Amino acid sequence: MKSMYRAVMIIAALVLLLPLSARAEIRAGSFEVNPYVGVNFFQHSQNLNTAPVFGGRIGYNITKYFGIEVGGQFIRTSLNDNMKLDNTEGQFGYPMDRVDLYFYHIDAVVHLIPDGRINPFIVLGFGGVNYSPSISNGGGMPAFNVGAGVKVWLMDNIALRFDVQDYIVTEIMQETYHNIGVTAGIVFAFGGRRAAEPPPPEPAPEPAAEAIEKGRTTLDVKFDFDQSVIKKGYYNDIDNLVSVMKQYPELAVALEGHTDWIGSDAYNQTLSQKRADAVKQYMIEKGGIDSNRLKAIGYGESRPIADNKTDEGRAQNRRTEAVAEYLIKK
C-alpha cells in the first residue's frame, strides 16, 4: 500500500507541473506508439529490490472511448536478501544475484474523458512474465495487469502519458505477487478521425424592410371679422388633426394664426395670436393633446394667402392653419 500511495503522489506531482498549452483529443481510428520508463516496486516476499523499468506500447483506438494495446517491459533488479535459500516460483534467493524480468501483455484501455487536453483512462490486461535465471517451468508465469493513468497532450499528435499499474503475477494454486509500476512516457499518435467542428451558427435573418409612406394632414380654420372664436363647422377638422396626433405620439404641430389687413399691425398681431391660441386650447381641452406638443404662433397680417382688397380675399386671410407630416410604417 505504501508503494501504491507513493506512486500516485509521483504521478500527481508530475501532472501539476506540466504546461498545458495545446488542445487535442483521442481520435477514433488512430494508432499510438508509447515508449516509456519508470520504476517498479516488488512485493516484499519476492525478495527483489525496487528497479527501473523500460518498455513500450503500441495501441489502436477503436473509438475515442475504447482502445486496445500490446506492450512489453524489461526490468533488471537484484536480490534484497542474498542469504535467502527457499526459492520458489516468484520468489528469489541464493545463489542468484541479478534477476531480469520480461513482462508482455495485451490491454483494453477505456478513456474516461476523451475530449480535451487531459484524458484520464483505466487499463486492464492479461499476459505473462519471463524471468532469468529461472527457478522452474522455464521461468515463465501468467500475469494480469490493472491500473489507471492520464494522457496530457502537448500538441496535436504528441502527449505525455503517466501510468500506475499493478502487474499481478500468479501461479495456479500458488501465491500471487503484486508488482506496482509507475511509468512516464511520450505518446506519438498517427491518423484517426478528427472530431467534426460544429457548424457555424446561421446568420440572423435580415429584418424585413419596412414599407414607409409619408403622411400629411392640414388644418385650415376660418374666423369671422375681428373674431377669435372657433365656429362649430370646424370642430371635425380639428378633431381629425387630434386623431392623427394620438396615432403618432412623436408628432408635434405648430398652429399659425393670421388676419386680414384691416386694423393696425399691433392689433392684428394680437388677434392672430388669439386665433392660434383658440385652436390650441380646443385641442388640449377637448382632444386631450399634451400642450408640449403644440406651439401657437401669431403672424398678424404679414402672410396673406389672398387679395386683401376684396371681401373674399380678406375672408381667406382670417385663419389658423397647420400642416402635420409623419411617416407611416407598413
- Predicted pLDDT at 201: 86
- Predicted pLDDT at 93: 62
pLDDT tens digit at each of 330 positions of the chain: 455 445 545 555 554 555 544 447 899 999 999 999 999 999 888 888 999 999 999 999 999 999 999 999 999 998 887 666 565 555 666 667 788 889 999 999 999 999 989 999 999 999 998 888 765 555 678 899 999 999 999 998 999 999 999 999 886 656 788 889 999 999 999 988 766 667 888 888 776 656 567 778 889 999 999 999 999 999 999 999 999 999 989 889 999 999 999 999 999 999 999 999 999 999 999 999 999 999 999 999 999 999 999 999 999 999 999 988 877 776
Which listed CATH number (3.90.1300.10, 3.90.1170.40, 3.60.21.10, 2.40.160.20) goes with 2-191? 2.40.160.20
Specify the DSSP class assigned to residue 117: S
User: Which SS3 state, helix, strand or coil, does residue 133 take?
Assistant: coil
- Predicted pLDDT at 208: 62
Adjacent-strand bridge partners of 162: 150, 184
CA distance 158 to 153: 6
CB 51 within 8 A of CB 167: no
- Predicted pLDDT at 22: 44
- Predicted pLDDT at 177: 86
Domain boundaries, the chain: 2-191, 212-329
- Predicted pLDDT at 8: 47
Pairing between β-strand 176-193 and β-strand 28-42 as defined by DSSP bridges: antiparallel
Which listed CATH number (3.30.450.20, 3.30.1330.60, 3.60.15.10, 3.40.50.450) goes with 212-329? 3.30.1330.60
